[in-house]
Amino acid sequence: MNLKKSKKLENELGRILIILNEIKNEEKSKLLTKFYLAYVNEQITWERFCEFADVIENIFVSDLEELFVKIATK
């Protein structure tokens, strides 16, 4: 692994650790994990992952639950 790629990985993991440290809700942590796996599996970009992480960090749990209900009933 080259130095540039290693530094990028270090920065990404640092951001993830900061986000996880700030998230106090298990459901939010699980959702963040799903988005991170999507990033690792190259289904989304790092930028998109960061956008989702920001949303997860700032959304109310009750709003998340309502969103899941609406998605499940479609």
Sequence spans of domains, the chain: 3-72
pLDDT, tens only, 46-56: 999 999 999 99
Percent of the chain topping pLDDT 70: 97
| 25-59 burial code (b ≥16 CB/10 A, e <16) | eeebeebbeebbeebeeeebeeeebbebbeebeee
Taking the mean position of all CA atoms in its chain, how far away is CA 36? 5
* Residue 1 in this model has a pLDDT that exceeds 70: no
Query: What is the chain's percent helix, strand, coil content, to nearest 5?
Result: 80, 0, 20
Taking the mean position of all CA atoms in its chain, how far away is CA 42? 14
